[in-house]
Amino acid sequence: VEQILAEFQLQEEDLKKVMRRMQEEMDRGLRLETHEEASVKMLPTYVRSTPEGSEVGDFLSLDLGGTNFRVMLVKVGEGEEGQWSVKTKHQMYSIPEDAMTGTAEMLFDYISECISDFLDKHQMKHKKLPLGFTFSFPVRHEDIDKGILLNWTKGFKASGAEGNNIVGLLRDAIKRRGDFEMDVVAMVNDTVATMISCYYEDRRCEVGMIVGTGCNACYMEEMQNVELVEGDEGRMCVNTEGGQGEEKRPPLWGSGWSGTKRPSRDALLSPPRSDSGDRKQIYNILSTLGLRPSATDCDIVRRACESVSTRAARMCSAGLAGVINRMRESRSEDVMRITVGVDGSVYKLHPSFKERFHASVRRLTPSCEITFIESEEGSGRGAALISAVACKKACMLGQ
């Protein structure tokens, strides 16, 4: 058993090779002539600004990244003590199988139905709210409110969506329904929304990361390095898109078991207490698979799960370390202080993933001082804050 599990172990030099490979592919993804062949796509998001703390208003946000879909009302403005605050109300909706695998029209009609239901419950159908859409699938942005779906992942197969503007499909569905109006001002993926949401807590947050069904990150890149977008001034948030869910997961990112559709497998790899969970717990999980394991079998399963989850944490750490070291080198900083906003079920729920991941990232980034923030309501709140920034910018340009 130990001989087999030894193949899962990653030495420090292995991680440094992954990190260097990550940085090479990031460079290829940013360059116009090599972008198409790069395994790390480095997709521009057109998010150039972060919240200043002076944005105000009511915003609606949508969060679609799996079988559950969330609608959120976000109130941005002055709080009780005179400080800038963000308050939220949300509701979860399940995406039916026929909407996931039918047509794009069916999927977005269902989404607009959920929005209508939410607005009814909060008596806000009379308002035309700015809307931010967190859409956690590979998208090629042409502007902050225009993104072309490259390919579905995570079990979604709705026809007529790939190659089309997702915001346009949403606007069409809202128009077909006709019982409310929305101003869709921004579309981002979950990593970007997480980064912006955590920026609200810590102004040094310039990296967003998701470790769940897949593993992916975004960060603020120097505009002079983003050849896919014109302009050299300032920075733009870039979605690395190095992990695209279960169908297409390049080797540079990956939480090791992301994308599984087998709950029992998830339970084994992420036991609720510890990797050394008692034999009874492991026995009960294996029993759901129709097995009758011995005590030795349970011990072997525990060791296997520990090996896989440790490997996953270290692989994710190598990818993130590649991003952070690149940022420091681009900015010519001897020591860079930076905050990383993180979300995702594996990061939040696995009992030992977080500790192993943090330790490995810090070993691989000796010239950086890294703070990790766990995102709360990141995808929804972040999309709303990006919408608030976009609305403020539009008002300033209109004056």
Give residue-wise pLDDT tens across range 333-353.
999 999 999 999 899 999 899
| CA gap 93, 397 in Å, rounded | 37
Mean of pLDDT over the chain:
87
- Determine how many CB atoms are found less than 10 A away from the CB of residue 128: 11
Residue 378 near residue 197, CB atoms below 8 Å: yes
Angle at 66 between CA 309 and CA 168, to 5 degrees: 140
pLDDT of 218: 96
pTM over 0.95: no
- Give the residue-averaged pLDDT of 26-42: 94
Residue 187 near residue 139, CB atoms below 8 Å: yes
Place of tokens 């943090």: 358
pLDDT of 263: 44
- Determine how many CB atoms are found less than 10 A away from the CB of residue 297: 15
pLDDT surpasses 60 at 252: no
Q: Which member of 63, 109, 190, 343 is catalytic?
A: 190
pLDDT surpasses 60 at 255: no
Angle at 306 between CA 301 and CA 307, to 5 degrees: 100
Residue 352 near residue 271, CB atoms below 8 Å: no
Is there a catalytic annotation at residue 299?
no
- Give the residue-averaged pLDDT of 124-129: 91
Amino acid letter, 250: P
- Give the residue-averaged pLDDT of 2-25: 92
User: Count H helices, E strands: the chain?
Assistant: 12, 13
pLDDT of 177: 95
- Enter the tokens of residue 58: 């009511």
| CA gap 65, 382 in Å, rounded | 14
Give residue 79's pLDDT band: very low, low, confident or very high (50, 70, 90).
Answer: low
pLDDT of 56: 83
pLDDT of 398: 56
- Give the residue-averaged pLDDT of 366-389: 88
Give residue 86's pLDDT band: very low, low, confident or very high (50, 70, 90).
Answer: confident
Report the candidate in 380, 376, 385 with the shortest Cα–Cα distance to residue 52: 385
Lowest mean pLDDT: which of 41-50, 130-139, 237-246?
A: 237-246
Q: Which CATH architecture best describes the domain 57-194+378-388?
A: 2-Layer Sandwich (3.30)
- Give the residue-averaged pLDDT of 11-22: 94
pLDDT of 82: 62
Q: Which residue has the higher pLDDT, 298 or 243?
A: 298
Q: Which member of 63, 109, 145, 154 is catalytic?
A: 154
Strand partners, 141: 147
Alpha helices in the chain (DSSP H): 2-5, 12-30, 97-101, 104-121, 166-177, 190-199, 263-269, 279-287, 295-330, 345-349, 353-364, 378-398
| CA gap 187, 142 in Å, rounded | 11
Write phi, then psi, for 241 (nearest 5 degrees). Answer: 45, 50
pLDDT of 245: 42
| CA gap 42, 24 in Å, rounded | 12
pLDDT digits (tens, 9 = 90+) for 96-118: 999 999 999 999 999 999 999 99
Beta strands 336-343 and 205-211, pairing class: parallel
In the chain, which residues fall in CATH 3.30.420.40? 57-194+378-388
In the chain, which residues fall in CATH 3.40.367.20? 2-42+202-374
Give residue 278's pLDDT band: very low, low, confident or very high (50, 70, 90).
Answer: confident
pLDDT surpasses 90 at 262: no
In CATH terms, 2-42+202-374 corresponds, of 3.40.50.300, 3.40.50.10470, 3.10.310.10, 3.40.367.20, to 3.40.367.20
Is there a catalytic annotation at residue 157?
no
